[in-house]
């Protein structure tokens, strides 16, 4: 999904237009920015971070999963049932519903 701009918060400064590495935004002075190229969005968050009015948020297209490294918990083994449980608990903690 493309960046979502809150019309009530947007100050129409054009920072999102200037900062987007993929040039996803369209902007005319004193008008609400548009997203004419939504498929070009990398969901990098540059527009969200740099917006001085906090008027932009991203809705990620896919649920993102973070898989913990075996280096943190050790490789799963026959004798150690605790490591896979810790890894699974960590994965559940970073997934938003």
Please determine, for residue 76, whether its predicted confidence score (pLDDT) is greater than 90: no
State pLDDT tens for residues 37-75: 888 888 888 999 999 999 999 876 555 555 556 655 555
Q: In the chain, which residues fall in CATH 3.30.70.20? A: 1-61
> pTM for this structure?
0.59
Q: How far apart are CA 66 and CA 97, in angstroms?
A: 14
Q: Per DSSP, what are the bridge partners of residue 83?
A: none
- Mean pLDDT is lowest, of 8-17, 37-46, 71-80, for 71-80
Fold of 1-61: Alpha-Beta Plaits (3.30.70)
- Please give the pLDDT value at position 93: 47
Please determine, for residue 32, whether its predicted confidence score (pLDDT) is greater than 70: yes
């Amino acid at each position: 999904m493309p960046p979502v701009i809150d019309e009530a918060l947007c100050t129409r400064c054009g920072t999102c237009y200037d900062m987007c590495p993929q040039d996803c935004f369209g902007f005319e002075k004193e008008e609400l920015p548009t997203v004419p190229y939504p498929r070009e969005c990398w969901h990098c968050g540059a527009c969200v971070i740099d917006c001085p009015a906090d008027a932009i948020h991203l809705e990620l297209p896919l649920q993102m999963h973070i898989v913990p490294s075996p280096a943190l918990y050790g490789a799963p083994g026959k004798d150690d049932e605790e490591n896979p449980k810790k890894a699974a608990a960590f994965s559940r903690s970073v997934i938003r519903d």
